[in-house]
Structure 1
Amino acid sequence: MLGLANAARALVNGETLIKSISANKVELVLIANDASDNTKKKITDKCQFYHVDYFIVDDIETISKAIGKHNRVAVGITNQGFAKKIKEMIGG
């Protein structure tokens, strides 16, 4: 599902992710469970402040492979439909 969202240009990652959360453009954030504690805290604090749902999911390799990029620690889904479907798949 992440690959489809990426192809539809409904994902943000990297520093763009933090800016997009602040601008209320992100519906859902997925964070790798093996991300550094500092990175997790930075992203989760931002999500909580702006009331964005987030999940700690698989490892960095799995997220990176799903979107076809290297070393992606977290991704934000900007499309409400994709976000809803991914939440259902995760069970949230």
Structure 2
Amino acid sequence: MMMKHKALSLLGMAMRAGKLVTGDETVLKNVKQGKARLVILAGDASDNTKKKYRDKCSTYNVKLVEMFDRVSLGEAIGKSERVLIAVTDAGFSASIMRSLTQPTEVEYID
């Protein structure tokens, strides 16, 4: 069984804590209002969506990471497929960033 990435578990916790928004309009609004601490974009998002959010996040100085795919992101937060997620809490955002930069024990299993 594949171990779930820690970042995905953290997204689930952020969702339950109400520190997370999803969906194009809502994420964009949170970025513009300075509420989004971290935007997570599915690796299989459309090129248009990727460009739009790369531009917006750099304009508003919001961290953007592209990772996982829409199914994993949706499952992590107990929803259907999700292409965009914004984390609105600095603590969760920092923990997720840390979990992405730290090697996980999973990588050493062949």
Q: What SS does the corresponding residue of 2:41 show, helix, strand or coil?
A: strand
Partner of 1:52: 62
| Bigger-Rg structure (1/2) | 2
Q: Name the counterpart of 1:63.
A: 73
Choose between structure 1 and 2: higher strand proportion.
1
Q: TM-score, normalised by structure 2?
A: 0.81
Query: Which runs of 5 or more residues in structure 1 are unaligned?
Result: none
Q: What are the ranges of 5 or more consecutive residues in structure 2 without an aligned counterpart?
A: 1-9, 103-110
Q: Does 1:5 align with 2:22?
A: no
Q: List 4+ stretches of structure 1 deviating above 4 A.
A: none
RMSD: 1.0
Q: State the percentage of identical aligned residues.
A: 42
The count of residues paired between Structure 1 and Structure 2 equals 92
